[in-house]
Amino acid sequence: MPNFPENYPLEYRTGCVQFYWRNFIVTPDVLIPRLETECLVRKARETIHSLKSCTLIDIGTGSGIIPLSCSDILSIQEIICLDISSEALKVARENAESLQIHVPITFHISNLLESVLNSNIQLSDQPIVITANLPYIKNEDWKNMSVDTRFEPKIALFGGKVHGFELYEQLFLQLLELKKCTLQTITIIIEFGFDQNQIAKDILSQYPWDSEFFSDYSGIERFAQVDIK
Ligand X SMILES: C[S@@+](CC[C@H](N)C(=O)[O-])C[C@H]1O[C@@H](n2cnc3c(N)ncnc32)[C@H](O)[C@@H]1O
Name which of 118, 121, 139, 152 is nearest 58 in CA terms. 121
Closer CB to ligand X, 131 or 187, in the complex: 131
Minimum distance, C-beta of residue 96 to ligand X, in the bound complex (Å): 14
Q: Which residues pair with 210 in a beta bridge?
A: 227
Per the CB < 8 A criterion, the answer to whether 182 and 55 are in contact is no
Report the alpha-carbon distance of residue 157 to residue 62 in Å, rounded: 11
Closer CB to ligand X, 57 or 59, in the complex: 59
Looking at residue 28, the DSSP 8-state letter turns out to be T
Minimum distance, C-beta of residue 69 to ligand X, in the bound complex (Å): 10
Closer CB to ligand X, 45 or 53, in the complex: 45
Task: Write down the H helix ranges in 75-192.
Answer: 86-98, 114-117, 166-181
Closer CB to ligand X, 9 or 135, in the complex: 135
Q: Which residues pair with 81 in a beta bridge?
A: 58, 107
Minimum distance, C-beta of residue 105 to ligand X, in the bound complex (Å): 15
Residues found near ligand X in the complex (CB under 6 A): 30-31, 33, 37, 59-63, 65-66, 82-85, 88, 110-112, 133-135, 155-156, 167
Minimum distance, C-beta of residue 131 to ligand X, in the bound complex (Å): 8
Closer CB to ligand X, 171 or 226, in the complex: 171
Report the alpha-carbon distance of residue 174 to residue 154 in Å, rounded: 23
Per the CB < 8 A criterion, the answer to whether 2 and 8 are in contact is no
